[in-house]
């Protein structure tokens, strides 16, 4: 059996060739309305197809938010399945933003859903929540290694209420976020050119020099654009780890639709701003 190329290596190559940008696919009701689409499955499908066709051969990573598809039931999931397949066919990596977190066989089932090539939702990577204990993620981590996929672990998220959990201090004096970053560094030890296990770290959080972000893995950075962060903020937030940042933009690009050329121009502009900032 051929061993698949690790996700970290594929991600580094995609970012080097296509630019360091992840575009979220977040078809929430207000954005569908802005595009002149109905908040129904037909509008969902039109929106998603337009984004994938416009940007699929240009951006390094797509990050579909599963919840916005799940709300339409099985028909919405069918749209998501098609989007995942077509995005990957165009050469983009797909990071499924599902934020799953559970234990034992249930976590294993989530791993089967997103990280098994036999699944119609098979993606290049998935976001997960570690707050049932980092060890609860083992089925997903193992499946990722087996199938050449990635896992992004919530560490320091951009939502204000996240701090009450993530910055809580353990008996050993470390915050929970620092503990998760340490686990990721251990999982990525020795990986070249980049580990496959990443952290989600908000680009809106300001100076994070008190945290060791050098986990030898990708750092997914939501918050650029509509949430207030800019590419110029990345060096301040991420310091020496900035080259491993995967900046995520959703509304900042998507609001330029449904015109395909405007979507492409917005994505190019953000990618160039990121290149300039991290150079």
Block residue for tokens 């991290």: 278
Bridge partners, residue 128, by sequence? 100, 153
- In a 13 Å sphere around the CA of 154, the CA atoms on its Cβ side amount to 20
DSSP element (H, E) containing 75: helix 73-89
Q: Decide if 99 is catalytic.
A: yes
CA 143 to each of CA 115, 130, 147, 196, 252: distance values in angstroms, whole numbers, following the listed order: 6, 16, 6, 12, 33
Token duo for residue 77:
């999931």
User: What does the DSSP 8-state code read for residue 224?
Assistant: E
Given the residues 99, 243, 255, 264, the one annotated as active site: 99
Residue from 207, 199, 204, 203 nearest 239 by CA? 207
Task: Give CA–CA dist 143/150, Å, rounded.
Answer: 9
Bridge partners, residue 24, by sequence? 63
Phi then psi for residue 36, to 5 deg, are 80, 25
Are the C-beta atoms of 22 and 248 separated by less than 8 Å? yes
Q: Which residues are known catalytic residues?
A: 99
């Amino acid at each position: 059996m051929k061993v698949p190329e690790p996700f970290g290596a594929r991600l580094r190559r995609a970012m080097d060739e296509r630019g360091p940008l992840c575009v979220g696919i977040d078809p929430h009701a207000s954005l569908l309305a802005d595009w002149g689409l109905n908040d129904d499955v037909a509008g969902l499908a039109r929106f998603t197809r337009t984004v994938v066709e416009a940007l699929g051969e240009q951006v390094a990573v797509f990050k579909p938010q599963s919840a916005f598809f799940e709300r339409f039931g099985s028909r919405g999931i069918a749209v998501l399945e098609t989007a995942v397949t077509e995005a990957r066919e165009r050469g983009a990596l797909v990071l499924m933003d599902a934020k799953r977190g559970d234990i034992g066989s249930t976590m294993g089932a989530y791993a089967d859903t997103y990280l098994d090539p036999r699944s119609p939702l098979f993606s290049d990577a998935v976001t997960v929540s570690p707050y049932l204990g980092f060890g609860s993620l083992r089925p997903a981590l193992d499946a990722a290694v087996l199938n050449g996929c990635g896992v992004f672990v919530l560490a320091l998220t951009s939502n204000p209420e996240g701090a009450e959990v993530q910055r809580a201090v353990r008996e050993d004096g470390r915050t929970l976020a620092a503990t998760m970053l340490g686990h990721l560094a251990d999982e990525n030890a020795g990986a070249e050119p980049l580990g496959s296990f990443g952290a989600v770290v908000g680009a809106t959080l300001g100076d994070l020099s008190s945290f060791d972000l050098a986990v030898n893995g990708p750092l997914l950075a939501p918050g650029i654009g509509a949430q207030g962060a800019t590419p110029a903020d990345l060096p301040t937030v991420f310091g020496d780890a900035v080259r491993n940042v995967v900046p995520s933009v959703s509304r900042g690009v998507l609001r330029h639709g449904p015109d395909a050329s405007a979507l492409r121009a917005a994505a190019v502009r953000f990618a160039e701003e990121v290149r300039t900032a991290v150079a």
